[in-house]
């Protein structure tokens, strides 16, 4: 097979993940009267009334942060606040503003060169999905019995004392699993994927795609999506090694939870609040020193082709995890350091909405709180630091497209080199509580006297025999030193 071809634009993307019910209310979308108040404690049920026009009104905020791509959790019609229980795949939920609101959002986002990726829930639907509802109403006489894994009649869809007598995701009766070997189901799902690509979205994030254990399904999915937009981004929710799907014939990338786990281990380290980590697939993360972290990162990079590594969605948290700062016991320096690494490392960084202002929350649904638009509630110093790290990534192509090589991994200090032509960026991160002073062997031929200036704070060092000597790192801090090979 030829090398994987991945969307070029993703190499320059900084993603921002939005949970639509909780990001922003526009005041322009009619709402039911029984909404929860904005900012009330997040719960598994109940709506707080965010909508897509609210997001459209906040695009300038996102652009100022440096975001140029947005990933939305599901937006299609559903009877759940997270909308993973899809009722209608061809209609945007009216509470979010309907399909017209998505049209407006896409147009306004694209005018600002912001891409939009939607969440595709193609493994399972909901009890309200028409074809499943038809089976509920008509039993064995339904025209759609082969759309789901039906084991008996009548369906026990609303019987808490009885398990569902049909295939469902994790045994949850609200989530009947599609029978994807049925030709009509395959065509329906492929048609949904292509419909929204033709509408103008820039890609799909795929929910639990490993549950559709059918490579032919995903190969045809890719073919249809790429036929509509060759640069569409297809990223799967895979929590571990995604090699099976990343050979160039199925997905472009995965949500890189291997990256997330490594960042928890090193940047949070001994601060990990295991109460919030325990409910999650990342629960076995253990504190790591710089050498262990470096080895974990290189094992991760070794899994995939460089064209895939360049577009992996590198995240520190999501709607399915506790927030990174909460895992760190509230420590902001852990999030600062991890974000600096995220913004200087190969791949597409993804910020979970509100992390940049210090939002906290444990395992879902606690991590799905409403965004507080009153700046008095923000950690403004954190926001400024994250904005600066994002801007640095945009300002320096070497951080987006340069090669990667380890330079230093000892004790609490980790360092690596990014190189693009003659431009060199040395990234040094000190996860320890004390100051450190290190010598850095660049490992490339550089004449003596070439200056490397810190792009984050005052400071400059000159090369001597291919080294930078006595580089001081404050506690829980990082440096990005920019220079040239001098050739």
- The residue extents of the domains of the chain are 8-123+180-395, 400-484
Query: Contact 339/281 with Cβ under 8 angstroms?
Result: no
Backbone angles phi, psi at 232, to 5 degrees: -65, 145
The answer to whether 464 is a known catalytic residue is no
CATH of domain 8-123+180-395: 3.20.20.80
Give the pLDDT of the chain (487 residues) as one tens digit per residue. Answer: 579 999 999 999 999 999 999 999 999 999 999 999 999 999 999 999 999 999 999 999 999 999 999 999 999 999 999 999 999 999 999 999 999 999 999 999 999 999 999 999 999 999 999 999 999 999 999 999 999 999 999 999 999 889 999 999 999 999 999 999 999 999 999 999 999 999 999 999 999 999 999 999 999 999 999 999 999 999 999 999 999 999 999 999 999 999 999 999 999 999 999 999 999 999 999 999 999 999 999 999 999 999 999 999 999 999 999 999 999 999 999 999 999 999 999 999 999 999 999 999 999 999 999 999 999 999 999 999 999 999 999 999 999 999 999 999 999 999 999 999 999 999 999 999 999 999 999 999 899 999 999 999 999 999 999 999 999 999 999 999 999 997 6
Given the residues 51, 93, 119, 237, select the one marked as catalytic: 237
The answer to whether 237 is a known catalytic residue is yes
Question: What is the β-pairing status of strands 413-420 and 403-410?
Answer: antiparallel
Given the residues 21, 207, 331, 436, select the one marked as catalytic: 207
- Collapsing DSSP to helix, strand or coil, 16 comes out as strand
CATH of domain 400-484: 2.60.40.1180
Q: Which residues in 26-55 are b (16+ Cβ under 10 Å) and which e?
A: beebeeeeeebeeeeebeeeebbbbbbbbb
Q: Which residues in 97-131 are b (16+ Cβ under 10 Å) and which e?
A: bbbebbebbbebbeeeebbbbbbbbbbbbbbbbeb
């Amino acid at each position: 097979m030829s090398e994987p071809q991945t969307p070029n634009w993703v190499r320059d993307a900084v993603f921002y993940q939005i949970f639509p019910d909780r990001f922003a209310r526009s005041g322009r979308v009619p709402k039911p009267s029984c909404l929860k108040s904005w900012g009330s404690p997040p719960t598994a049920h109940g709506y707080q009334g965010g909508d897509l026009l609210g997001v459209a009104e906040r695009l300038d905020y996102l652009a100022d942060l440096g975001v140029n791509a947005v990933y939305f959790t599901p937006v299609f019609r559903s009877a759940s606040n997270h909308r993973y229980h899809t009722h209608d795949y061809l209609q945007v939920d009216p509470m979010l503003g309907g399909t017209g609101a998505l049209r407006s959002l896409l147009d306004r986002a694209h005018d600002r060169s912001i891409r939009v990726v939607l969440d595709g829930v193609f493994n399972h639907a909901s009890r309200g999905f028409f074809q499943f509802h038809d089976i509920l109403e008509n039993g064995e006489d339904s025209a759609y019995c082969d759309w789901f894994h039906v084991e008996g009649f009548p369906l026990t869809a609303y019987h808490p004392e009885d398990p569902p007598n049909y295939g469902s995701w994790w045994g949850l009766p609200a989530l009947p699993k599609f029978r994807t070997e049925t030709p009509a189901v395959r065509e329906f799902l492929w048609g949904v994927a292509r419909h929204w690509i033709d509408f103008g979205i820039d890609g799909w994030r795929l929910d639990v795609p490993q549950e559709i254990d059918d490579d032919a399904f995903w190969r045809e999915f890719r073919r249809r999506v790429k036929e509509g937009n060759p640069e569409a981004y297809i990223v799967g929710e895979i929590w571990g090694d995604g090699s099976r799907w990343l050979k160039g014939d199925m997905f472009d990338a995965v949500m890189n939870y291997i990256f997330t786990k490594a960042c928890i281990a090193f940047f949070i380290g001994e601060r990990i609040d295991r109460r919030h980590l325990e409910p999650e697939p990342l629960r076995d993360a253990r504190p790591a020193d710089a050498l262990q972290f470096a080895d974990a990162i290189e094992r991760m990079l070794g899994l995939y082709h460089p064209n895939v590594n360049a577009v992996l969605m590198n995240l520190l948290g999501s709607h399915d995890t506790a927030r990174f700062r909460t895992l760190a016991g509230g420590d902001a320096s852990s999030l600062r350091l991890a974000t600096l690494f995220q913004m200087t490392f190969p791949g597409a960084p993804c910020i979970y909405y509100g992390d940049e202002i210090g939002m906290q929350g444990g395992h879902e649904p606690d991590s799905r709180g409403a965004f507080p638009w009153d700046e008095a509630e923000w950690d403004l110093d954190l926001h400024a630091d994250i904005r600066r790290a994002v801007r640095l990534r945009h300002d320096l192509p070497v951080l987006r497209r340069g090669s990667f090589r380890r330079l230093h991994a000892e004790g609490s200090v980790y360092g690596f080199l990014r190189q693009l032509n003659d431009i060199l960026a040395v990234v040094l991160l000190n996860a320890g509580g004390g100051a450190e002073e290190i010598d850095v062997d660049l490992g490339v031929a550089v004449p003596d006297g070439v200056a490397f200036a810190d792009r984050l704070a005052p400071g400059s060092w000159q090369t001597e025999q291919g080294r930078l000597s006595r580089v001081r790192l404050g506690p829980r801090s990082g440096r990005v030193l920019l220079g040239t090979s001098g050739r």
